């Protein structure tokens, strides 16, 4: 079981990461808005570059959204008292795992595969 000070430490870490990611999201949103105001590309190469850049921004933005959702879920688990407890087995998640991945919801051996690293 995590101590009150450990929970505070994780909450502060998650809050800080959330703020950093939200700031990054605002930067991406500004880039998208700026790119939308560009005039039509002069040639096909410029147009392709603009599309590629926009796709990169949207990909990163979606990745940030997913991570922000994981952080929100972890903060909610802290509020309701289930943080640090595996959602699969109900066993405590080792402190080392939580330090490496504060959004962890399961024990390492409970993960179905590399695509699901929560």
State pLDDT tens for residues 69-114: 999 999 999 999 999 999 999 999 999 999 999 999 999 999 665 5
Contact 103, 71 (CB under 8 A): yes
Tens digit of each residue's pLDDT (9 = 90 or more) over 6-46: 999 999 999 999 999 999 999 999 988 876 555 554 555 66
Mean pLDDT of 59-68: 97
């Amino acid at each position: 079981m995590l101590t009150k000070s450990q929970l505070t430490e994780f909450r502060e870490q998650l809050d800080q990461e959330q703020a950093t990611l939200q700031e990054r999201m605002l930067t991406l949103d500004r880039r998208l808005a700026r790119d939308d105001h560009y005039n039509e590309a002069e040639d096909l190469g410029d147009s392709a570059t603009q599309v590629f850049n926009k796709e990169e921004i949207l990909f990163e933005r979606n990745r940030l959204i997913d991570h922000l959702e994981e952080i929100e879920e972890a903060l909610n688990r802290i509020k309701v008292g289930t943080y640090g407890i595996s959602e699969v087995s109900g066993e405590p998640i080792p402190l080392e795992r939580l330090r490496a991945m504060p959004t962890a919801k399961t024990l390492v051996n409970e993960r179905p595969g590399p695509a699901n690293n929560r």
